[in-house]
Amino acid sequence: MRCATMIAVVVVMCGAGTAQAQEWPAIWKLTNGQCGDGIAVTVSERPGVLVVQSKGNNRGINPSNREIKLAADGSGTLDFRSDTFGDMKITVAGGKGVREIRQAQVKGICAWRLVPP
């Protein structure tokens, strides 16, 4: 008696690598302290990362580009050092698209949140 074995391999591609980046303008609004306000930024999100690109201003804030790695739920944090404000932390709430993004001094009172214009 002869037996035949058939193995089928099925590969399903679910749009891998085709996710479109979302982008929106926003402004850093001061929520605590007297540390400057109104810095315009562009926020862009693609799978696994959120980029906050600051345009800087004419009062000593230099342009910057911060990449925040995102968890599966869309949340993330980034610790960095600012020449102007010292040690800083950006916190991104979970979700996708426009959502709460905050920035604060680690050892200070200055805090901001991103607000779409």
Tens of pLDDT, residue by residue over 69-107, are: 999 999 999 999 988 889 999 999 999 889 999 999 999
What was the pLDDT predicted at 19?
Answer: 60
Least reliable range by pLDDT among 51-55, 57-61, 111-115: 57-61
Count Cα neighbours of 75 within 13 Å in the Cβ-side half-sphere.
Answer: 4
Look at residue 15 and tell me whether its pLDDT is greater than 50. no
**pTM for the whole structure:** 0.76
Helix (H) and strand (E) counts in the chain: 0, 8
CB-count burial class (<10 Å; 0-12, 13-18, 19+) for 91: middle
Model confidence at 38, in pLDDT bands (50, 70, 90)? confident
What is the spatial distance between Cα 2 and Cα 47, in angstroms, rounded to a whole number?
Answer: 50
- Dihedrals phi, psi of 58, to nearest 5 degrees: -90, 15
Count other C-beta atoms under 10 Å from residue 53's C-beta. Answer: 15
Alpha carbon 37 to its chain's center: 19
